[in-house]
C-alpha cells in the first residue's frame, strides 16, 4: 500500500492503543478486589475463625472505626435507653427487670451467646425479644413492646452487650434439633420472584459485590446492629424481612416461627465467632 502521512499517523495511534491496553490489563491483574482491600485490616483476626468470618471484616475501615469506639458507636445511645428501661418499674406488679435479675452485667452474661432457646411452655424456640415480651406480660403485668421500638432495641442491645466478646454457643440439642432443621431448610430454600435462597448470596457468593454492597457470610453474631442504612439499630428479624423483600418474597413477622428457626440455624452456624452486639454495619 502507499505509505502516506495518513498510514504513518494511524500506525502511531495503533501502537499507542496497544500500549495503553497492555498497561490496562497489567494493572487490572494487580488490582485488589474490594473484598481483599477490606479484609486486609489486622483487626479482622479477632472476628475470623477458620473459614468463618463476621460481617465486621467486610465493612469499610471507617465503619469498623465506628464500631470499635463505644463513644462513636451510635447504638450506645440505645444501650443507655435499654439500661434505663431495665431499671424502671413496668406494669401492674410493680417490678422492673432489675427486681429479679439484679445487675445485668452478672445475670445476663452469656445470654447473647445462647439465644434463641427452647421454651418448654410453648414447645417452640423463643428469641430474646419474644422472651422479653412474655416476661413483660406474664410476670410483670405490663404491655408488650414492639420489636423495633426504642425500648426493645435498647434492651436487646443492652442485654447482648453483656456477652460481648464471648463465643457464640447456641445449642441445637434435644428438642431444638427439629427447629434447627426447619431453619436450615429455610436458609436453603428458594423464594420470591427472584427465586433465590439465602445461601445464593451468603454461601455461594460471599466476598463478591452485589451492586455496591460487599456480601458478607450473613453470620448473625452482631445483632441488634446499628445499620447505617437504617440510621438506627435493628433486629435480626428486621434484616430477614429486608432480605426477603429484596428477592421479592413476602416477609414473615418479627418473632414468627419461620424467622426464629432461621435465627437458630444462623446463630449455630456462627458458633465460635465472638458476640459483637451492638455492631455497626452498612
Partner 1 sequence: MAKARVKVPATAQKGEVIQIKTLIPHKMETGRRKHKKTKKLIPQHIINKFVCKFEGKDVFSADLHAAVAANPYMAFYTRVEKSGTFNFTWTDDKGKTVKASKKIKVS
Residue 230, C-beta contacts closer than 8 angstroms, at least 6 positions apart = 238
Asked if 58 and 216 touch (Cβ cutoff 8 Å), the reply is yes
Q: Which is nearer to partner 1, 80 or 195 (CB)?
A: 80
The piece of 50-58, 75-83, 167-175, 246-254 that touches partner 1 (CB under 8 A) is 75-83
Record the cell numbers describing residue 216, joined without a space. 458478607
C-alpha cell of 225?
446492629
Closer to partner 1 by Cβ: residue 73 or 217? 73
68 binds partner 1 (CB under 8 A): no
In terms of Cβ atoms closer than 10 Å to its own Cβ (0-12, 13-18, 19+), residue 30 is: exposed
100: annotated active-site residue: no
- The least distance separating partner 1 from the CB of residue 97, rounded to whole angstroms, comes to 17
Stretch that binds partner 1, among 74-82, 89-97, 99-107, 189-197 (CB under 8 A): 74-82
What is the nearest approach in angstroms of partner 1 to the Cβ of residue 143?
Answer: 20
C-alpha cell at 236: 435480626
Residue found under cell 451492638: 278
Whole-number minimum distance, CB 156 to partner 1, in Å?
18
User: Residues touching partner 1: how many (CB under 8 A)?
Assistant: 6
Residues in contact with 245: Cβ distance below 8 Å, sequence separation at least 6, in sequence order: 251
Binders of partner 1 among residues 77 to 96 (CB under 8 A) are: 77, 80-81, 84
Active-site residues: which are they? 243
Amino acid at each position: 500500500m502507499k505509505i502516506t502521512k495518513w498510514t504513518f499517523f494511524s500506525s502511531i495511534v495503533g501502537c499507542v492503543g496497544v500500549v495503553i491496553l497492555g498497561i490496562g490489563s497489567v494493572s487490572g491483574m494487580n488490582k485488589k478486589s474490594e473484598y481483599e482491600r477490606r479484609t486486609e485490616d489486622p483487626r479482622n483476626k479477632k472476628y475470623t475463625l477458620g473459614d468463618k468470618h463476621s460481617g465486621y471484616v467486610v465493612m469499610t475501615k471507617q465503619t469498623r472505626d465506628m464500631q470499635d469506639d463505644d463513644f462513636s458507636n451510635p447504638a450506645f445511645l440505645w444501650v443507655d435507653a435499654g439500661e434505663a428501661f431495665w431499671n424502671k418499674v413496668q406494669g401492674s406488679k410493680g417490678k422492673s427487670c432489675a427486681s429479679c435479675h439484679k445487675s445485668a452485667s452478672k445475670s445476663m452474661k452469656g445470654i447473647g451467646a445462647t439465644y434463641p432457646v427452647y421454651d418448654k411452655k410453648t414447645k417452640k424456640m423463643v428469641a430474646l425479644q419474644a422472651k422479653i415480651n412474655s416476661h413483660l406480660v406474664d410476670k410483670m403485668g405490663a404491655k408488650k413492646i414492639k420489636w423495633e421500638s426504642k425500648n426493645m432495641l435498647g434492651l436487646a442491645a443492652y442485654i447482648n452487650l453483656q456477652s460481648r466478646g464471648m463465643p457464640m454457643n447456641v445449642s441445637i440439642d434435644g428438642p431444638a434439633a427439629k427447629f434447627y432443621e426447619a431453619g436450615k431448610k429455610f436458609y436453603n430454600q428458594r423464594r420470591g420472584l427472584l427465586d433465590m435462597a439465602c445461601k445464593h448470596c451468603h454461601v455461594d457468593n460471599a466476598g463478591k459485590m452485589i451492586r455496591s454492597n460487599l456480601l458478607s457470610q450473613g453470620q448473625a453474631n452482631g445483632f441488634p446492629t446499628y445499620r447505617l442504612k437504617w440510621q438506627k439499630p435493628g433486629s435480626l428479624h428486621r434484616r430477614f424481612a429486608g432480605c426477603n423483600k429484596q428477592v421479592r418474597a413476602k416477609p414473615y413477622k418479627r418473632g414468627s416461627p419461620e424467622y426464629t428457626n432461621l435465627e437458630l440455624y444462623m446463630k449455630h452456624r456462627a458458633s465460635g465467632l465472638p458476640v459483637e452486639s451492638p455492631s455497626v454495619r452498612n
